[in-house]
Amino acid sequence: MSENQQDSNKNTTLLFYQKITVLNPQRHGELKMGAATDQSFTSQTNSVPLVGVEFVESCREYPIIFSRAENNTYSPVAVLGMENGENLFLDQAQLWKAHYVPAFVRRYPFVLGENPDNPDQPWVCVDESCPWLGQTKGEPLFIGDQPSAFLKQTLSFLTDYNLQSLRTVAFCKKLADWGLLKEHQAQATTAADGKAYTLTGLWAIDEPALAQLDAEKVQELFKTGELAWIYFHLASLGNFRRLAERKAERIPAVAMH
């Protein structure tokens, strides 16, 4: 990732990041991280990536499904809306309304970038377009030419997130290799106007295939904690009804507008 690299592909790795730049004290020595004023940067996002350890919290609020990339790899996401470009977890003030906010959202505007010169020490990057980055209020990113305590804490969070992402990639590959994923279609109807919504291109655990899995593989999933992830995912599918309820709550306000 070079300086000023743009998210031209709009892929799920970067999603709502606009102007990613490698942090360095020469360019960003005066920058401070202020308090997030809102989460409007997610307003056009109807799903965000999850890592497996988040399933236990996420399954209480979001449908967790798997998306398939063009290279036939799979990744878990939390579904946020019934339509493209819709996040039903933002209120009118563009604040996130849920008990658990996915780590992918919480890490913004920071992200780790691959360092081709030293793969073991990735670059810490920042979205320079983030509105609460400035030079007047908040936590400094650098003290002199050294990372501040805040930036070190941020790096620790990003590093853990990336490690959990790698673990999740391996989990998804296992599910695919063992034939445990099948295409899934979610349907929900809003009570306010009776409109039906259908979400396609989703993938979910094939329960009959899971039931036929041999004991050795089940034991492997159990020991790694991944069997619990599977059941958290399956339990979360009922949240499509809750999404429809969130959608319905907005319909009267839209109609009066």
What's the whole-number mean pLDDT along residues 233-245?
92
Q: What percent of the chain has pLDDT over 70?
A: 90
- Whole-model pTM: value is 0.86
pLDDT level of residue 13 (50, 70, 90 thresholds):
low
pLDDT digits (tens, 9 = 90+) for 92-115: 999 999 999 999 999 999 999 888
State both tokens at 147.
Answer: 């990372």
**How much is the average pLDDT of 223-245?**
94
Residues 6+ apart with CB under 8 A from 77: 12, 47, 48, 49, 50, 64, 65, 66, 67
pLDDT digits (tens, 9 = 90+) for 15-40: 889 999 999 999 999 999 998 889 99
Residue where the block lists tokens 């992402």: 165
CB half-sphere exposure, 217, CA atoms < 13 A: 13
Is pLDDT of 191 > 70? no
The pLDDT mean for the chain works out to: 88
Which has more confidence, 166 or 249? 166
Supply the pLDDT for residue 198. 77
**Structure-model confidence comparison of residues 187 and 128, the more confident one:** 128
Q: What is the 3-state secondary structure (H, E, C) of 116-137?
A: CCCCCCCEEEEECCCCCEECCC
For residue 85, the Cα-to-chain-centroid distance in whole angstroms is 15
**Are the C-beta atoms of 151 and 124 separated by less than 8 Å?**
yes
Decide if pLDDT at 257 tops 90.
no
**What would the two tokens of residue 80 be?**
């946020």
